[in-house]
Amino acid sequence: MKILITGGAGFIGAALSNTLARAGNVVRVLDDLSSGDPAQLDRNVHFTRGDVADVPKLWSLLQGVDCVYHLAARVSVPESVLYPRDYNATNVGGTVALMQAMRDAGVKRVVLASSGAVYGEQTEPAVGEDCIPNPTSPYAVSKLAAEYYLHTIGKLWGIETVALRIFNAYGPGQQARASHPPVVPAIVRQALSGGSIIVHGNGKQARDFVYVDDVISALVSASTALNINRLTINIGSGHATNVNELVTVIGRILGKELSPLHITADSGGVSRMCAEITRARERLGYIPRVSLEEGLRLFIKNYMAITSAI
């Protein structure tokens, strides 16, 4: 297949790009490098630096493409609260621009990387795709709006669309960026540096942590699976772990007793996010295979190897 991946030099994007290229596909990547790193890409991945809203550039990259993976997005919840217009421009406007370019180029399938954040606070222990979204941040609103544009435009223009709501993905290649880092690399960095383990709220907020290889398996399946047009599908582990438990597991792997420092002024977000993954199993043949402890061991091993080499 010939495949275009927007945001293909980011954490999930690079893993997907390399997996598809190693399987013999022709993979083109478009990334503005606001958070991506082309050094993470295999040599046979065709990289182009650019903005996902650049329709003329998209036209050239979409020629002959069989499927598009749309991962280009701004992804920080706290940052989205400060800059909602920017998040709307990239996450919503970029999606519309891509769909327009796909229509013009005649590309017939697109897979959107959406987010479990669209659910917000829910009463169910695990949220299914039929739960009414309750977004609590501009980031979550932008991902939900992107889903609606994707499916609506796809129906109008005859483009097959599927949106994967990815929960808290983690794994090798995920960076602990300086501002608002993801929870797993943030805790690992603090634990290895000997600093305080900062936990927002009481640490009882639970998340569905899903290893990146499991996410990639779902994304790969979505490019060719039958009878998934217009579907939205959860991708998670199906299990919830609270942040205090996460700290304990990381400490056990490192052989350290870690003591969280709770910042109670910050609630830490919604109380629980856990994916109901029956639809993913039935429609994509998706089975999460990497346990949280195994995934954390792999992440920590990779993180320590990279930091020791710097």
The catalytic residue positions are 139
Q: Which DSSP string do the residues of 148-175 spell out, in sequence order?
A: HHHHHHHHHHT-EEEEEEE-EEE-TT--
**Closest listed residue to residue 66, CA positions, set 3, 154, 123:** 3
Question: Residue 117: what residue type?
Answer: A
Cα–Cα distance for residue pair 110/265, rounded to 1 Å? 41
The C-alpha angle with vertex 90 and arms to 87 and 95, in degrees rounded to 5, equals 125
Asked if 74 contacts 116 with a C-beta cutoff of 8 angstroms, the reply is: no
CB neighbours of residue 15 within 10 Å: 22
Asked if 300 contacts 256 with a C-beta cutoff of 8 angstroms, the reply is: no
Cα–Cα distance for residue pair 8/116, rounded to 1 Å? 20
| DSSP-assigned beta bridge partners for residue 260 | 197
